[in-house]
Amino acid sequence: VAAGVLPGRIVISNGRRAFAISEQDGSVLWQMSTQEMGPAIDTPDGGFALVRENYVIKFDSQAKKAWQVTFENSYWMWPTPKGEFYFARAFLYADTGSIYMPIYTDIEVVKVNAAGKIAWHKTYGKSMGDDETLDAMIPTQDGGVLLAGTHYGIGEVGETDIWVLKLSAGGGLSWQATLSGKWWDNVYRLAQSPNGEYFIAGYTGVEIAEHEVLVAKFKTNGALAWQKTLSDYGRLDEIAGLVQGK
């Protein structure tokens, strides 16, 4: 069962039906059925959207279907305060310029605007032959998106780095950065402060089976403000989130 608290009502879905319940007295305002359904997300026009990893269905305030966008593949998905949606994933591609046609991975990002149209669809990678994964994503205050994952370069045996990308609202690459620790590096959480700066939290391996928490701060232009490691704090996959306080 998925639920979303929208202005004046609560939308509850269970994969087959959705109900809107009045926030004031609990009465059923409307109900609907659909074959596939995900969590309900509020949209700025008073409507809502039902989302999953490969689609978004937009409804108006009266639960009338406005539009639907469906993808063949599964994505990470994040809504924006403007009613837009970012979908991103790591995807496989073959190097057709090589006689052996090796397989590598890059990052694919799709932006769907508030009208249900694909605003842009782009791919990102550091260089041919490198592998990139996607591990975290958040929309940013300027309408863009911040993504982070791991980068594994050609000839780098047993090591990964954290790769951070800041995209503009139009899909342009605003900046990118790499965080290198002692061994294996992975990212788990992203956050943006009210003044627009960015925080990255992950872990870095100091030995094959030992890890330290890795935390970094980036300025709005992508410059690294600081990078710290915290020892004896356990694996970061045991930490629930990263919250930037006031």
Residue 110: its pLDDT value, please?
A: 92
Q: Which of the residue ranges 38-42, 59-63, 79-83 has the most confident prediction, judged by mean pLDDT?
A: 79-83
244 pLDDT tier (thresholds 50, 70, 90)? low
Listed in sequence order, the DSSP H helices in 32-164 are none
SS3 45: coil
What gap in Å lies between CA 161 and CA 39, rounded to an integer?
33
120 CB burial (10 A radius; 0-12, 13-18, 19+): middle
The residue with greater pLDDT, 246 or 215, is: 215
239 pLDDT tier (thresholds 50, 70, 90)? very low
∠ Cα 193 234 179 (to 5°): 50
Residue 158: its pLDDT value, please?
A: 47
230 pLDDT tier (thresholds 50, 70, 90)? confident
Mean pLDDT of 112-125: 91
Task: Give the residues across from 56 on adjacent strands.
Answer: 51, 69
Taking alpha carbons only, the member of 8, 4, 84, 7 closest to residue 50 is: 4
